[in-house]
Structure 1
Amino acid sequence: MTSRPRKAEPRPRPRLYLITPPVADAAAFAGELGAALEGADVAAVLLRFAEGDERTQTNRIKTLAPAVQARDAALLSDGHARLAARAGADGANLTGIRDLIDALETLKPDRIAGCAGLETRHDAMLAAESGADYVMFGEPSDAGRPAFPAVLERIGWWAEVFELPCVGYAADADEAEALARAGADFVAVDFIWNDPRGAAAAAAEVAARLAAAEPVS
């Protein structure tokens, strides 16, 4: 893991990382996803799956991956590293150190291995040392979601010390802007799918706020 140089260049402007709702009908969801990608600068899409067997999950990836990749974004599966590799996804987001380590042989060197579910600073550093391509902070889990001030603190610490990209999860547009100011490289959102204006308009607004956010000095 590499620490930030003392006179490091500023990090690039943060970009959107979309988290889908659990997808059952990929063909039906493709239009809404495509509209969101068309109207905003999106770096990655994390595909969450509804219940289904392996063949069904494979088909969901194969349906959505081309549209995402055609817009220069990465399609990541929520877990399921072997499935991601076989079905044409760009990588997977793993939860916890053990899942990350178990997935590395399958995903590396050609695909992305991200790591979420990192409860402590030590866990985050261990994920980076183990070979994660990014770490994620603040996402909900079965135990609930960390307090947002703690997420901001973790993002600020990571951005100041480490070169490895970090993703911050935002529950709304205000949180997204705050994460951008704190130093997040990517801001993960899933609230856009419930916006009454539509996901495309919501994604465009968040992307604009990320682009305008000035880092806290």
Structure 2
Amino acid sequence: MTEPRTRLALLTPHGVEASHADALVEAVRRACATADVAAVILRLAPADERSLVNLVKRIVPAGEDRSAAFLVACGGYAGDLVSVAARGGADGVHLDKPAQGALRDLRGRLADGRILGAGGLESKHLAMEAGEAGVDYVMFGGLYPDGVAPEPETVLARTQWWVEIFETPCIAVAHAASQLEELATTEAEFLGLESALWMDEGVDLAAVQALLAAREPTS
């Protein structure tokens, strides 16, 4: 029986605003045309709900013809992120460093197959709590808003631990090209790419796709 292949998840820069939308849409289209993109995590700057909904509506069509899922993240937003995602046409929400009980609350409100993901999980205990809350994936690695990222060795070890024990899918995020090959060996369901790797003059996505394809089981 063939095991699921590793697919790509694209992370936008933090603080995406309306002025960034056109460039982001073009980058998403290029990426989806080049590689097997499963998801795009939109890390938006806080604004009023109407502005956020309109921004999501501008971006989501960029990957629709490739069946990429769009997840809305908005650190510091005090409003209803579920409403933003639903009204904007996104597929779900992503929460970093979730507060106590936040994931269970969102899980209860995200119906009709909408996706809930969690990142910024700085301990194994927090990752397991997220899994118990019913998230559709956990994410290890990725830049924080201040530009700092977990150590690559920690991301690799945490991903290997999760894949070996748990059934909930995970995204293993690379913020530098040097991480790609090792993370591709983990058999994580998704390889996450920070924006510097897939936007502008980042890595060759076709080469990344070839790297993942080379590791797929043949039977």
Return 163-172 or 47-56, whichever deviates more.
Answer: 47-56
Distance 1:168 1:10 in 2: 21
Alpha-carbon RMSD: 2.3
Q: 1:106 aligns with which of 102, 109, 117?
A: 109
In structure 2, what is the equivalent of residue 165 of structure 1? Answer: 169
Tell me whether 1:40 sits opposite 2:35 in the alignment.
yes
For residue 124 of structure 1, report the CA deviation from its aligned partner: 1.0
SS at match of 1:45: strand
- In the TM superposition, residue 109 of structure 1 has moved relative to its aligned partner by 4.2
- TM-score, normalised to structure 2's length? 0.82
* Unaligned 5+ runs, structure 2: 75-80
Instruction: Return 5+ residue gaps in structure 1 as ranges.
Output: 1-8
Q: Percent identity?
A: 43
SS at 2:149's partner residue?
Answer: coil
Q: Who is 1:86 aligned against?
A: 87
- Assess, with a 3 A threshold, how the Cα gap between structure 1 residues 86 and 105 changes in structure 2: closer, same or farther: farther
Name the structure 1 match of 2:78.
Answer: none
Q: 1:134 aligns with which of 137, 154, 170?
A: 137
2:211 aligned partner, one-letter code: R
Q: Deviations over 1:148-197 (max 9, x none)?
A: 1121111111111111101111012331221120222111112225553x
Alpha-carbon separation, structure 1, partners of 2:129 and 2:164: 17
SS in 2 for 1:209: helix
Partner of 2:96: 95
Q: Conserved in 2, the CA contact under 8 Å of 1:49 and 1:78?
A: yes
Give the secondary-structure state (helix, strand or coil) at the position aligned to 1:182: coil
* Structure 2 residue 187 is the aligned partner of structure 1 residue 176: no
Matched residue pairs, number?
204
Runs (4 or more) in structure 1 with deviation over 4 Å come to none
Question: 2: CA distance between counterparts of 1:181 and 1:195?
Answer: 26
- Structure 1 pair 140/32, CA: closer, same or farther in 2 (3 Å)? closer
Match of 1:23 among 11, 16, 41: 16
CA distance in 2, matches of 1:100, 1:192: 29
Corresponding position of 2:214: 212
SS in 2 for 1:168: strand
